[in-house]
Amino acid sequence: MNTHHRLVLKDIRIALAGSPLLSLDAEIGPGEVLTVMGPSGSGKSTLLAYLAGFLAPAFQASGQVLLDEREISRLPAERRGIGLLFQDPLLFPHLSVAGNLRFGMPRAAPDKAGRVEAALAQVGLGGFGQRDPATLSGGQKARVALMRLLLAEPCAVLLDEPFSTLDRPLRHDTRRLVFDRLREAGLPSLLVTHDREDAEDAGGRIIELGF
Ligand SMILES: Nc1ncnc2c1ncn2[C@@H]1O[C@H](COP(=O)(O)OP(=O)(O)OP(=O)(O)O)[C@@H](O)[C@H]1O
Cβ atoms of 92 and 152 within 8 Å: the answer is: no
pLDDT category of residue 169 using cuts at 50, 70 and 90: confident
pLDDT digits (tens, 9 = 90+) for 14-71: 999 999 999 999 999 999 999 999 988 999 999 999 999 999 999 999 999 999 999 9
Take atom 17 of ligand 1 and give the residue whose Cα is closest: 45
ipTM: 0.96
Do residues 185 and 2 lie in contact, with contact meaning Cβ atoms separated by under 8 Å? yes
pLDDT (tens digit, 9 = 90+) per residue, 115-168?
999 999 999 999 999 999 999 999 999 999 999 999 999 999 999 999 988 988
Q: Whose CA is nearest to atom 31 of ligand 1?
A: 41
- Measured from CB, residues less than 6 Å from any atom of ligand 1 are 16, 21, 38, 40-46, 56, 58, 194
How many alpha carbons fall within 13 Å on the CB side of residue 27? 4
The mean pLDDT of the chain is: 94
- The full set of domains in the chain, from first to last, is 7-208 (3.40.50.300)
Ligand 1 midpoint to CA 45 (Å): 7
Per residue in 85-119, pLDDT (tens digit) is: 999 999 999 999 999 999 989 999 899 999 999 99
Q: What's the 43 CA to ligand 1 centre distance in angstroms?
A: 6
Q: Which residues contact 44 (CB under 8 A, 6 or more apart)?
A: 36, 37, 38, 160, 192, 193, 209
Residue 2: predicted pLDDT: 60
Going by CA atoms, what residue is nearest to atom 27 of ligand 1? Answer: 40
Integer Rg of the chain from CA:
17
Q: How far is the CA of 62 from the centre of ligand 1 (A)?
A: 17
Question: Does 1 score more than 70 pLDDT?
Answer: no
Burial 23-53 (b: 16+ CB within 10 A, else e): bbeeebebbbbbbbbbeeebbbebbbbbbbb
What confidence tier does 211 reach under pLDDT thresholds 50, 70, 90? low
